[in-house]
Amino acid sequence: MSVDDLRAMTPAGSLRALSFEAASALLDSLNQNRPEGAERPAGERRSGRRGRPGIYKMVTPRQIEAVGQYRAALGWTEARLDEFLRRTIGMPLAKVAVRRDASRAIFVLQRCLQHALRKRQQSQGAINAIA
Distance CA 106, CA 86 (A): 13
DSSP string, 74-96: HT--HHHHHHHHHHHTSS-GGG-
Single-letter amino acid, residue 102:
A
Backbone angles phi, psi at 58, to 5 degrees: -80, 155
Q: Which residues, in sequence order, are CB contacts of 94 under 8 Å at separation 6+?
A: 82
Q: Based on the number of CB atoms within 10 Å of its own CB, is 81 exposed (0-12), middle (13-18) or buried (19 or more)?
A: buried
pLDDT category at 122 given cuts 50, 70, 90 is confident
Is a pLDDT exceeding 80 seen at residue 92? Answer: yes
SS3 (DSSP) at 60:
coil
Domain boundaries, given as residue ranges, for the chain: 3-37, 61-130
- What are the tens digits of pLDDT across the range 16-65? 777 777 777 777 777 776 665 555 555 555 555 555 666 678 899 999 99
Is a pLDDT exceeding 60 seen at residue 131? Answer: no
Is a pLDDT exceeding 80 seen at residue 3? Answer: no
> Model's pTM, two decimal places?
0.55
Q: Tell which wins on pLDDT, 117 or 53.
A: 117
Q: Which residues, in sequence order, are CB contacts of 26 under 8 Å at separation 6+?
A: 6, 9, 10, 18
pLDDT (0 to 100) of residue 62: 95
